[in-house]
Amino acid sequence: MPTNCIRIAGLNDGEHRQAFEIKDKFFKAYEDSEVKAGKFIVNTLVVLRGLDRKLTINIEGIITNLLCDYCTKRLEWAISTTLNFVIKESKNETKSTDEMIYVFPNQHQLDINQLIFEMINLSVPNKRTHNKSEQKNGKCDKKMLQLMQEYAIKTNNETDPRWEALNKLK
Ligand SMILES: [Zn+2]
């Protein structure tokens, strides 16, 4: 997997932008990633003002491997997420936080792969259905819903909450 690095030093005061494209192969390095497929554009902005360094990461894209809770068909889930960080120097290895990224005084590049991974996976919704506004071009698969309902009627009595939800849709 190529690392996605941004320049954080040796830059003039002002704004510095970079962009990266993330595709399926990015997630192969993360076995426990819930997101396995999709297409994303990562835009980074480093703002330098004297000793102050700020980093903004914006990710827009579509997750394509999630399945609908209702009809079990694939969804295309659009995400848009932005985080802001302050970059601070530290001579010792210091764990970065949600708001602060620590780098060594002589560090010129910052590998943002882990941040990209986390931001995309944090955008995974708890409930995924075709009826939410975040997803693109889709409605639940009617045939599949019908099949599931027929199956539910046959096996009856099992009170899976999903069947109840289906019945409410009628
Ligand atoms: Zn669906």
**Predicted local confidence at residue 158, as pLDDT:** 57
Above 60 in pLDDT, residue 28?
A: yes
- Copy the structure tokens of residue 102: 């620590």
Rounded to the nearest whole angstrom, what is the distance from the C-alpha of residue 31 to the centroid of ligand 1? 26
Residue 95's pLDDT is 86
Ligand 1 centroid to 58 CA: how many Å? Answer: 28
28 phi, psi to nearest 5 deg: -65, -25
Each residue of 60-75: pLDDT tens digit?
A: 999 999 999 888 889 8
pLDDT band at 48 (very low <50, low <70, confident <90, very high): very high
pLDDT at residue 85 greater than cutoff 80: yes
Average pLDDT over residues 10-24: 96
Kindly tell me if the per-residue pLDDT of 135 is higher than 70: no
Ion ligand 1 residues within 5 Å by Cβ: 68, 70-71, 130, 140
Residue pair 123/79 in contact (Cβ under 8 Å)? The answer is yes
Euclidean distance between CA atoms 109 and 81, whole angstroms:
23
**Range list of β-strands (E), the chain:** 5-7, 14-22, 38-49, 52-63, 77-89, 100-103, 109-111
* Region 137-154 average pLDDT: 79
Give distance in angstroms: CA of 34 to centre of ligand 1.
18
- pLDDT bucket at 142, cuts 50 / 70 / 90: confident
- Which is more confidently placed, 2 or 36? 36
Domains of the chain, by residue range, sit at: 5-130
Residue 106, C-beta contacts closer than 8 angstroms, at least 6 positions apart: none
Q: What angle do CA 123, 32, 39 make, to 5 degrees?
A: 45
How many Å lie between the centroid of ligand 1 and the Cα of residue 126?
14
Q: How far is the CA of 29 from the centre of ligand 1 (A)?
A: 29
Q: What 8-state DSSP symbol labels residue 25?
A: G
Mean pLDDT across the chain: 88
Taking the centre of ligand 1 as the mean of its atom positions, its distance from the CA of residue 115, in whole angstroms, is 30
**pLDDT score, position 170:** 58
More reliable by pLDDT, 1 or 81: 81
Q: What is the pLDDT of residue 63?
A: 96
Check pLDDT > 90 for residue 124: yes
Residue 169, pLDDT > 80, answer: no
